[in-house]
Amino acid sequence: MENPSLLSLIVALLGFLSPCLTRLTPRVSFPMSSPGRHLTRFSCRDVSNTTTLLLSEDGDMLYVGARDAVLALDVSHKDAIILRSKLDWSPSEKDLEQCSMKGKKMADCPNFIRVLQFLNTTHIYACGTFAFSPRCTYIHSETLTMSIKPDEGRGRCPYDPYQRNTAIIVDGELYTGTVADYRGNRPVISRHLSEARRVDLKLDDTLGWLEDPTFISSSFSPDEEKIYFFFSEVGREYDFIDKFIVSRVAQICMSDVGGQRTLQRRWTTFAKAQLLCQADNELPYNVIQDIDTLPPAEGAPADDTVFYGIFTSQWSVNSGRSAVCSFRLTDIKSVFSGNYKVLNRDTLQWSTRVQEKVANPGECGLHNASDNALRFVKENFLADDSVRPVGRSLSMVSTDHNYSHLTVQRVKGANSKHYTVLFLLTESGYIHKAVLLQSGAHIIEEIQVFEQPQPVKSLKLSIPKGMIYVGTSEGVVRVPTANCSFYWTCPQCVLARDPFCGWDPASKACVEASNTQTSLGQDTEKGNVEEACNSVSFTHRARFGPNKLPAGELVTVSLNEVVRLQCPAASQLSKQLWERPNSRLSSDLYLHLEDGSLSFVATPATLGHYLCLSTENGYQQTMAIYHVKQKSILMAQTPGYTWPQTHPIPTTKAGLHASVGTWPKRADTRQQETEPTQSSWDTQVTTRQRDRNVTFRTEESRQKEAEFRDGELLLLARGPCYLKELVVVSVLLVLCLSLLITMLLYVIRQRCRSRTAPQAGTPTRHSDRRTPVEQEALRGVLSKRNGQALHSGQASRLVCNGALTGSNGHLPNTPI
């Protein structure tokens, strides 16, 4: 692609064509130190940066490569991690001074252990950065002592503690992918500790073999006797303005000993191909973060080996997203056996090979080939085709979390079907446990393992012990892969859709599927409670039937008071619903809040019973029951009665607190598995957010409650008395109406009189006929009479202009 504008157009089009991604929400979340998820932690005051983990074959000993030390941890105990021995391996003061003189920070100059591999049954091979001067040594696995003096580790371990590397030992030989110089400009894939007549090999320095790679992981294929390396690098085959990162898989043959004349002490079987984590009509997730190998099932061919990797994207459209892709070994072999690109040394442009094929690049045994064949494989090492993911689709996409590490396990369910379970470490400090189903990925739970994001981390899975080990800056955290005891009812056990767990009807407990041979209730694929638990749920009529009003938590309120009823969530995937007996919750009276609670104003119409239901995957269960009563009525009718109190039963369930709500004892629509001899309402339900206590009631309290309910029903049948309130309101209404009518009549009368009164300064027709002498006399009489009337208090009416008026508007005793 030579036109940059064409690339921009394609990126924009693919961004618009990208389908809406389904948000993956963990069903249950366990915060730090939650009793619902038991974790074991190891930390020591002088131990930090546990960057490398190595687990013994039996899973009882964990070797840890930390800063300036190698540890041997006994992990065979269930509730503790014990430090058996410690090997201090730190640079001298002189080494630290030289590191500082090179311009490096003192915090980066200690010895960070980056290679830790079993050499044989008695020794471990370890390498560290050692103040930017790598060193390697042999360590006795029993005593944790050095067998020989450390030697130079250039090409085996990185100089910089923050540079990623990979290392694997097969048959006593070390295969590494790292950088071989101080500045980090010479990446190499090499073999060390070669035995017999074999020699150490590395890549040729020819331009194009590796382009600024970031090594991720390596894997051994015993069937082919090949080592596969996974890394990301700059894709020079794409002619873009910006550097385009691509993910790669490379291979070398263990039998390779280099060429006789051409490619002496160089790999003759090196080949690489692109890993394309991309769905149809979407931009690729092109930057690989981590990868893990899932061996084939027992009895399956080696070609069924699957590699699961975490990929991110450099495109802004997919920014903040992580994708999981899987690649089959058979597809990788098919790509390496196909055509290869050729690099033009003059123009540094890649093109599809068109000349005659002289040799098969990547084929084992080329060390005995001719110089012409070796020159051909030297120029043709990039496969023309890309390795596509299984099913040409993404295994999982997360829009909310950036995943950094993963490990994968195949689990056999109760139905004898195998499921793939991923354990993904997020940058925010959580482990996500996800199962891959035909309908898509399902995140069973998330566990917080550390509070703050860590600069360096490592992840190790112990399948025999059922444990995951996480290396952090403070120490090591052990997480059990299964947490079946947390699900204490059959519906919860089935809805978790965890292939590790199933419901045992005999013991009435959620147990690990691998630890029992009995038939377990489990439906990992669909989570169907009806079929897995073999019971029928109660209908809505059974919840609120005649004489079956449920007992619940009493809530006393005053009229016109705002009431808020809480409803704990069964999981983060459930939805809360509210019901009332023979009544519909109108949106005009009730407000459903985002946290599932119900809010309303207390009125005679809103008093009564409320039931909170949790719906998940088509199954409903009761989470809380409330009985809302008015305080005055309760005190007047039952002066000496108190509502029955709950009695918590001590429980040993470890998983009683999760961030989705500490679950109260539910009046589940399935009571057969918990209390088969009781009705659905014989278990009192509370909504204590900080406890999940099982409650019970004595026979005496049941009788008192029955008497109270009968009296309450009789009171509700008679209806409340509002006679006094009615009389008061009627009297007030009559007074208001009388006052209103009086004021209205007064206003009307005033308006009528104002229309008949003469206006000030306006002469009448009679005054116009008077002579000036009469008018002067009239003004004198008027002034005299007016003063006498006002002085004696005999004025009958007073108008706004101060004129005294009679019945016809004329002065009295004045001739017309």
Average pLDDT by stretches of 10, the chain with 816 residues: 43 42 85 91 90 93 95 94 95 94 92 96 96 96 91 93 95 95 91 90 82 95 95 88 90 93 92 92 91 94 96 84 96 94 79 76 88 89 94 92 94 92 93 95 95 77 94 91 94 95 92 82 92 60 48 89 93 92 86 93 93 92 92 52 35 41 40 36 35 36 43 43 79 91 90 61 43 47 41 38 38 36
The DSSP secondary structure of 465-495, one letter per residue, reads TTEEEEE-SSEEEEEES--GGG--SHHHHHH
Q: 161-205, pLDDT tens digit by residue?
A: 999 999 999 999 999 999 998 888 899 999 999 988 889 999 877
- What is the distance, to the nearest Å, from the Cα of residue 646 to the centroid of all Cα atoms in its chain? 35
Domains, the chain, ranges and CATH?
Answer: 484-533 (3.30.1680.10), 540-718 (2.60.40.10)
Residue ranges of alpha helices (H) inside 240-328 are none
Query: What is the spatial distance between Cα 170 and Cα 191, in angstroms, rounded to a whole number?
Result: 10
The pairing of beta strand 509-512 with beta strand 575-579 = unpaired
Query: What is the spatial distance between Cα 145 and Cα 88, in angstroms, rounded to a whole number?
Result: 9
Query: What is the spatial distance between Cα 18 and Cα 2, in angstroms, rounded to a whole number?
Result: 24
The pairing of beta strand 382-387 with beta strand 509-512 = unpaired
Query: What is the spatial distance between Cα 412 and Cα 418, in angstroms, rounded to a whole number?
Result: 4
Question: Residue 720's pLDDT is what?
Answer: 53
Question: Residue 755's pLDDT is what?
Answer: 61
Closest residue by Cα to residue 668 from 766, 797, 537: 537
Question: Residue 457's pLDDT is what?
Answer: 74
Give CA separation, 792 vs 383, 499, 795, 804, 814, in Å: 126, 110, 8, 14, 21
Distance from first CA to last CA of the chain, Å, rounded? Answer: 118
Query: What is the spatial distance between Cα 673 and Cα 149, in angstroms, rounded to a whole number?
Result: 65
With b meaning 16 or more CB within 10 Å and e meaning fewer, what string describes 151-168?
Answer: eebbbbbbbbbebbbbbb
Query: 393: which residues sit within 8 A by CB, 6+ positions away?
Result: 279, 280
Element (H, E) at 627: strand 619-630
Q: Give the number of other Cβ atoms within 10 Å of residue 500's Cβ.
A: 29
As given in the structure block, the two tokens for residue 705 are 């409650």
pTM of the predicted protein model: 0.75
Question: Residue 721's pLDDT is what?
Answer: 58
What 8-state DSSP symbol labels residue 378?
Answer: H
Please state the three-class secondary structure of 78-126 as a single string.
CCCCEEEEEEECCCCHHHHHHHHHCCCCHHHCCCEEEEEEECCCCEEEE
Over its C-alpha atoms, the chain yields an Rg (Å, rounded) of 43
- DSSP-based three-state secondary structure for 318: helix
**Cα angle, residue 785 at apex, residues 784 and 786 outer, rounded to 5°:** 90
